[in-house]
A and B are shown apart, each in its own frame.
Chain A
Amino acid sequence: MSQLLDWISQPWPWYVAGPLIAMVMFSMLFFGKSFGLSANLRTMCSILGAGKSCDFFDFNWRDQMWNLVFAAGLVLGGLISYLYLGYEPAANISETTITELKAFGIENPGENVVPTEIFNWENLLSVQGIIFMVLGGFLVGFGTRYAGGCTSGHAISGLSDLQPASLLAVVGFFIGGLVMTYFILPHLLVM
C-alpha cells in the first residue's frame, strides 16, 4: 500500500494523464452526462439569481447539480493531492522557459504552481494583479461561454468526437493564447 502511495505520489507523465482524462470523459458519458466544466459557471449565475433578469440563466439549476458535484470533486482531488499525495508545487518545466521568465522578473519560475508574486491577495490592490486575476478570469468566463465550451468540453470531448466546431474553438484558444503569451504577457509580467 505504501509502495503504491509512493508510486502515485511522483509526478505523473503525460502518457498516464492523457488516457486517464479520456477515461474520465468516458465515465461521464457512461453515466449519461457530458464532460465539460464551463457549464458550471453558467449554473452558478443561475443559482445567484441571474435568471430573474436574463433568460439565458433562467433554467432549473438543480438539473445541473451533477456537474457542480463533479466540480466539487475537482476541489477535493486538488486537496487530496495537496495533503496526501506528495504535494510538490514545482513543475518540471524546461530550462528555456525558466531563463525566459527570470528575465521578466519572475523569481523562481516553476517552483510554485502559480507565479506567487502575481497571484496573491496583496497584489489585488495593484493594476497588474487586477489585470491577471480579475480581467483574466473575466475573459475565461466570457470566452468559454461565447465559444460554448472550454478545454474539456471542446479540446477533449469535441475533438474526440471529431467535431469541426470544436476544432475551430481550439484554433481560437490558441490564437488567443499565443497573442497573449508572445505579445501581451511580456509587458504585463514586468509591470
Chain B
Amino acid sequence: MKFLRYLLIGTVFGITLAKAEVISWFRIYEMFKFQSFHMYGVIGSAIVVGIIVIQLIKRKKLKSIDGERIIIAPKQFSWSRYIIGGTIFGLGWAMTGACPGPMFILLGNGVGVILVVIASAVLGTYVYGKIRHKLPH
C-alpha cells in the first residue's frame, strides 16, 4: 500500500490546520485585516523552516526514498500570470475563507456545504483550462 504514506501525511496536515484554526473563515478575514499575528506566524514559520529544509536538501544533495536527488522544479517567471491569477485567487480566498487545502479539511470537519465551494473550484479550474489560450501568461 504505497498510497498509505500520502494518506498519513495528509491526515497530519489536516489535523494541523484544523487544530491551529487555519481552516477558520474568521482567521483569514482577520489576517487580511492585519488584526492578529496568528496566520502570519503560521505561514511565516512554515516558510522559515521550509527555507532551512530546502537549503539542506540542496547543499547535502539529499535523495528521496527512491534514491534519486530531490529536485524542486523552478517555476517559469512571468508577470501577468502570477499577478492576475494570484489576484483572482486572492479574491476567492478572502470570500470563501478557504484555499484548496482547507476546503477538504472543512469537509471532514462537518461543513457539508463546502462541497458546493469545492465543486465550483473544480468548475473554475475547468473554465481556466478551456480559455487559457486566450489569457496572458
Residues of chain A at the chain B interface (Cβ within 8 Å): 8, 10-34, 37-38, 40-42, 44-45, 48, 50, 53-54, 56-57, 65-67, 69-82, 85, 87, 91-94, 96-97, 100-101, 109-110, 113-115, 119-121, 124, 131-152, 154-166, 168-182, 184-185, 188
Contacts A15-B45, A74-B101, A172-B83 given; does A82 touch B109 at CB 8 Å: yes
Complex contacts, B49 vs chain A, CB 8 Å:
18-19, 22-23
Q: How far is the CB of A85 from chain B (nearest CB, A)?
A: 7
Contacts A69-B6, A165-B77 given; does A136 touch B122 at CB 8 Å: no
Could you list 19 further interchain pairs (A-B, Cβ under 8 angstroms) beyond the known A80-B108, A135-B120, A137-B116? A14-B41, A15-B41, A24-B12, A24-B16, A25-B53, A70-B7, A77-B14, A77-B108, A79-B108, A100-B35, A137-B118, A139-B89, A141-B125, A146-B84, A146-B132, A148-B82, A159-B50, A159-B51, A171-B83
Complex contacts, B30 vs chain A, CB 8 Å:
93-94, 97
Q: Which of B12, B21, B51, B132 contacts A11 (CB 8 A)?
A: B21
Q: Is A20 in contact with B12, judged by CB distance below 8 angstroms? A: yes
Q: Is A168 in contact with B14, judged by CB distance below 8 angstroms? A: no
Q: Is A144 in contact with B100, judged by CB distance below 8 angstroms? A: yes
Q: Is B54 in contact with A12, judged by CB distance below 8 angstroms? A: no
Complex contacts, A92 vs chain B, CB 8 Å:
21, 38
Q: List 18 A-B contacts (CB under 8 A).
A: A14-B42, A21-B46, A33-B6, A70-B6, A93-B26, A110-B24, A119-B25, A137-B121, A139-B95, A143-B86, A146-B128, A146-B132, A147-B88, A148-B75, A152-B100, A159-B47, A172-B85, A179-B87
Cβ < 8 Å to A, chain B residues 33-90: 33, 35-51, 53-54, 57, 62, 64-66, 68, 70, 72-79, 81-90
